[in-house]
């Protein structure tokens, strides 16, 4: 999960992502940031995030992102 925090911090600095649970729904990341996040996650973890995963709850916290990444790696 540390790597996810690093990726998020590189996209938007100054946010305590480890304790944030409304990254998308709270407007911390905009659509351009989310696109950058998805690209970075796909490259870093060798996954493909399909349209079925494009829901706010999958990106609203580091834990939710980590759960999604793990699920995709196991697929």
Residue-wise pLDDT for 14-68, tens only, equals 999 999 999 999 999 999 999 999 999 999 999 999 999 999 999 999 999 999 9
| Main-chain phi, psi angles of 53, to 5 degrees | -100, 0
Cβ distance 29 to 42 under 8 Å?
no
Q: Which domain holds residue 10?
A: 2-74
Q: Measured at the alpha carbon of residue 58, what is the angle toward residues 29 and 12, in degrees to the nearest 5?
A: 20
Q: Is the pLDDT of residue 2 over 90?
A: yes
Provide the domain count of the chain: 1
CATH number (domain holding residue 58): 1.10.1200.10
Q: Would you state the structure tokens that stand for residue 15, as one six-digit string?
A: 């946010």
Q: Which residues have a Cβ under 8 Å from the Cβ of 71 and sit 6 or more positions away?
A: none
């Amino acid at each position: 999960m540390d790597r996810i925090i690093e990726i998020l911090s590189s996209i938007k600095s100054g946010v305590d992502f480890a304790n944030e649970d409304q990254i998308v729904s709270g407007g911390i990341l905009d659509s351009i940031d989310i696109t950058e996040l998805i690209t970075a996650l796909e490259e870093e973890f060798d996954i493909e995030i399909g349209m079925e995963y494009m829901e706010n709850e999958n990106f609203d916290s580091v834990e939710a992102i980590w759960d999604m990444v793990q699920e995709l790696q196991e697929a």
